[in-house]
């Protein structure tokens, strides 16, 4: 018989015994918001960045944005995270090219309304590389509003080389809607039961094409085709009188898809819409710009000795890059553009793409979660006391917080 006093029980340190609680990590994109805790592998929730029918990033005045953010963040803390805002530090993953108004209003809501202890703003293109453990890469973020490219060399974003174009998910959804209004058909599916059914144009009843339906069709039905097929589609759509190319496209097009929209109503989505909606990402516009060209322009704008390393570390993030066929098409477009006279001076023949340990739509959040689990969240955060004393948020675009500028002013 052994007394219980002689048994030395092991001591386990649970989360409740840790002095510094895990920080809350927010990545508030134009379409979705990712929210969770630092040190975790995936966000606790991914939800639309809107309150009711109003999108957060569409508010252009602080008076309108402030109450929207109060309601939205209340939902995050008390429905999904279930913690007291005062007990946790906050890490906000932001786009360096994002709105200053949104950033300052978000800081005001967190500090004055929810009284968080500190907030740390981190650039999304930089922290994406934290999930890979590398310090150099060419980060392409294709989200809902726009596609942005920022080269990062040895942990320093090369801001002089950034590129951006409004070629992203929203543009694809607008193309899908335009195609459906032009060629989409609505049927009741009665032909399956042997009854007569005359399809009618969806353009006669555009109320079927709600924002939610268009977004769902873009996600479920559309894909990126190869470069040769894409150019055939573009030529056929731009010149309907050319019956030869149009017949060739229709012969080998993707199969028709039926999409239920209301009760027995079925929306018929043809193969041209499914394949051709994403072609606007790759078609050179009047300024010879496309998703592939802004990558090469970013490399050209970077120092010569950095270019090869950047090309060997391409990282794709953002929800639109998850479209089937996106990576293969991007590789084909890059090789095609490199053969053009404009990019002869690049002197790069191959590109290598990183595969992050997460889905591309929350890679930036994961990088922020890793960054927020380090000591930096304690040493570099903007504390509530500092903010209340001087209610401004440090920003790279503000000369006040530029160290070189301050040194020159102080002599």
* Model pLDDT for residues 181-213, shown as the tens digit of each residue: 988 889 886 555 555 567 888 888 888 899 999
State the pLDDT confidence band at 164, using cuts at 50, 70 and 90. Answer: very high
Tokens of 47: 């939800």
The span from the first CA to the last CA of the chain, in angstroms, equals 80
pLDDT in tens, 104-133: 999 999 999 999 999 999 999 999 999 999
State the pLDDT confidence band at 12, using cuts at 50, 70 and 90. Answer: very low
Partners of residue 93 on adjacent β-strands: 27, 122
Dihedral sign computed on CA atoms, order 101, 107, 112, 114? positive
For residue 56, how many other CB atoms are within 10 A of its CB? 21
For residue 59, how many other CB atoms are within 10 A of its CB? 20
CA distances from 330 to 69, 227, 289, 301 (A): 36, 9, 14, 20
* Distant-in-sequence, close-in-space partners of 262: CB < 8 Å, separation ≥ 6: 208
pLDDT in tens, 23-67: 999 999 999 999 999 999 999 999 999 999 999 999 999 999 999
Tokens of 40: 């975790």
Average pLDDT, the chain: 88
Question: Pick from 363, 381, 174, 370: which is nearest to 279 by CA?
Answer: 174
Task: Give the DSSP H/E element, type plus range, for residue 55.
Answer: strand 54-55
Average pLDDT over residues 161-182: 95
């Amino acid at each position: 018989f052994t007394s219980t006093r002689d048994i030395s029980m092991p001591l386990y340190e649970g989360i409740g015994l840790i002095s510094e609680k895990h920080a809350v990590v927010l990545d508030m994109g134009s379409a979705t918001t990712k929210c969770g805790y630092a040190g975790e592998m995936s966000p606790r929730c991914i939800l639309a960045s809107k309150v009711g029918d109003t999108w957060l990033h569409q508010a252009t005045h602080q008076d309108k944005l402030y109450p929207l953010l109060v309601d939205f963040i209340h939902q995050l803390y008390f429905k999904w995270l279930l913690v007291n805002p005062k007990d946790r530090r906050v890490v906000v993953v932001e786009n360096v090219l994002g709105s200053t108004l949104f950033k300052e209003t978000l800081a005001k809501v967190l500090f004055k309304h929810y009284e968080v202890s500190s907030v740390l703003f981190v650039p999304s293109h930089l922290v994406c590389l934290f999930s890979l453990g590398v310090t150099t890469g060419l980060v392409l973020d294709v989200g809902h509003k726009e596609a942005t490219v920022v080269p990062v060399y040895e942990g320093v974003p090369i801001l002089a080389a950034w590129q951006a174009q409004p070629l992203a998910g929203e543009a694809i959804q607008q193309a899908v809607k335009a195609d459906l209004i032009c060629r989409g058909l609505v049927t009741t599916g009665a032909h399956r039961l042997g009854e007569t059914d005359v399809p009618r144009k969806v353009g006669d009843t555009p109320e079927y094409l709600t924002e939610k339906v268009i977004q769902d069709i873009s996600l479920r039905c559309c894909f990126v085709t190869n470069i040769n097929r894409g150019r055939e589609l573009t030529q056929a759509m731009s010149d309907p009188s050319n019956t030869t190319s149009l017949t060739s496209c229709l012969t080998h097009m993707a199969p028709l898809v039926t999409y239920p929209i209301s009760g027995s109503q079925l929306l018929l989505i043809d193969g041209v819409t499914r394949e051709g909606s994403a072609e606007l990402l790759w078609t050179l516009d009047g300024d010879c710009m496309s998703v592939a060209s802004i990558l090469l322009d970013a490399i050209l704008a970077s120092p010569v000795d950095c270019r090869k390393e950047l090309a060997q570390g391409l990282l794709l993030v953002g929800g639109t890059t998850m479209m089937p066929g996106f990576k293969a098409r991007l590789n084909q477009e890059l090789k095609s553009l490199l053969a053009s006279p404009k990019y002869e001076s690049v002197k790069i023949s191959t590109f290598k793409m990183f595969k992050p340990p997460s889905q591309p739509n929350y890679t930036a959040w994961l990088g922020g979660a890793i960054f927020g689990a380090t000591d930096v969240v304690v040493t570099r955060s903007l504390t509530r006391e500092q903010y209340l004393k001087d209610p401004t948020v440090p920003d790279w675009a503000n000369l006040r917080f530029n160290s070189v500028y301050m040194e020159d002013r102080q002599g």
